[in-house]
Amino acid sequence: MEPQRPSEVSSNWDSAYYPLGSTREKAQAIEITGPGQQVKGLVIVPGPPITYRRLAIRVRFPDGKPMTTARVRITGNNWEEIVFYLPTQKQPWGQFPVPANRKIRVEVTDSWKRDLKREYAAEFDAGTTAIEKDFVIKP
Amino acid sequence: MFGCSCSSVSVCQWLARPSVKPFIGEVISGGIDSVQLDPWYSPATQVRFKVLESFGTDQPRPVFVMRVSPTAGMCSPMPYILGRRYLVFPRTVHEGEESLCGFTGRLVEESAAEVALVRDYYASRNRYRLRGRVAASSHESYVELSLLMGESRPPKGVRVVATQGESSYTALVDDRGEYEIKVPSAGDYRISVSSPAYLPLEPFSVAVPAAGCAIRDIALSTGNTIEGQLRDPDGKLLSVGTVTLRDADPAPPGRRPFELRAYASKSEGSRSRTSLLENTP
């Protein structure tokens, strides 16, 4: 069976799949069978407009120094971002927009795959208020 | 003054340097010994390895202490992490010698093909090799990055053939997008690539050296495009948006899933056009 190759649109509109109104499971496959094939006339319609909320994250060690190797993965229902957390002395917080209409999960791991000994994660219900989360990594 | 450019040195280039004696070692002290240390800004000045396997020497050392300098961190991180095993190419930089900047080790668990290559090379088995990566990409210099970032997936059913005179040597591209052809001698080889799923590629020549090996990445093209429009639920054209193509196939081990994004722009009148699509073999 051919794998499905859904088309997803994201901007200030919610994501959606091709064709109109389909879910990820019902997305239509766009079949490419050989070299030089041109598929034209595809019309993609995104979901309804959505708003974003501010997510502020700080990842630090107990002595206050930022964890500059942190890898932050932010997921929601059918939405995912892996962000670069690049703190500076003046700005230890990283700020990211996240969809307001989804429950959000934030996970912190080490970008060099070192064992952090325990899970560092937090979940936030859908809402419009800004989120602040301070992760303290114990070496 | 000391200066360097930020380019990585391939295993083939290392093997071409007889003065460099590689080894496989486990970091037992020094290096990155705390999760609080960032390999990009490491204060470490040395790394102590327990040597597990030595190459090119009759007098292997049980322990190797390597000095690491801040210069290495200028062009790349220094991720010799405590407890991990590395294939190491220790070098000595003398006055007048070409300087090779950057991290020169390979994490063993992520470099099975390179470790096998070094073992075979020093055992003098299949000494002459041509290797590289293959992917749909706009240029051969982007092939490695395209595979790493998941913008291209390892192609299936692609054969790379090296021909010299009447003799041909063939390799099938593996599930990591890599190929390796063992040839009987150094010299020039004519390379051709065959796959029904990609546009034909003009054959080209590669010189296999007497020392080390040759690396040649190969960029394939499908010539496929998908073109369309973004419209809001009322049918109005959208001038900005992102269309993402994802493959539902599981990604090969160590690779990210295939994903390609196309951006609609005002200049294209809300058309979204993308190319380099993978074919279904």
Fold for domain B128-220?
A: Immunoglobulin-like (2.60.40)
Q: Is 90 exceeded by the pLDDT of residue A22?
A: no
- CATH number where A109 lies: 2.60.40.10
CATH assignment of B11-110? 2.40.50
pLDDT recorded at residue A91 = 87
B217 Cβ contact list (under 8 Å, min separation 6) = B132, B133, B134, B140, B141, B143, B144
Q: Which one, of B230, B231, B155, B149, lies nearest residue B193 by Cα?
A: B155
Cis peptide before A19 (omega within 30 of 0): yes
What one-letter code names the amino acid at B61? R
Report the number of distinct structural domains present in chain A: 2
Output the furthest CA–CA distance in chain B (Å, rounded).
Answer: 77
Residues A119 and A57 in one domain: yes
Residues A29 and A72 in one domain: no
Residues A59 and A38 in one domain: no
* Domain locations in chain B as residue ranges: 11-110, 128-220, 225-275
Of A13 and B193, the structure prediction assigns the larger pLDDT to: B193
Q: How many CB pairs under 8 A join A and B?
A: 120
Residues of A in contact with B35 (CB under 8 A): 67, 69, 110, 114-116, 137, 139
By C-alpha distance, the chain A residue nearest B82 is A114
Residues A64 and A96 in one domain: yes
What one-letter code names the amino acid at B22? P
Residue B222 at interface with chain A, using a CB cutoff of 8 Å: yes
Residues A42 and A58 in one domain: no
Residues A62 and A119 in one domain: yes
Strands A104-110 and A38-44: unpaired
Residues A7 and A65 in one domain: no
Q: Tens-digit pLDDT profile for chain B (281 aa)?
A: 444 555 567 888 888 888 888 999 999 999 999 999 988 888 888 899 999 999 998 888 899 998 876 554 456 677 899 999 999 988 765 544 444 455 678 999 988 888 999 998 898 777 899 999 999 888 999 998 888 877 788 888 899 999 999 999 999 999 889 999 999 999 999 999 998 889 999 999 999 998 889 999 999 998 888 888 888 888 888 877 777 777 766 666 666 666 666 665 544 444 444 444 444 33
Residues of A in contact with B249 (CB under 8 A): 3
Of A7 and B42, the structure prediction assigns the larger pLDDT to: B42
Residue B150 at interface with chain A, using a CB cutoff of 8 Å: no
Strands B63-67 and A94-99: unpaired
Residues of B in contact with A7 (CB under 8 A): 243-245
Cα angle B116, B109, B14; round to 5? 50
Domain with A73, as residue range(s), is: 52-136
Residues A67 and A95 in one domain: yes
pLDDT in tens, A75-123: 987 777 777 777 877 889 998 889 898 999 999 999 999 999 999 999 9
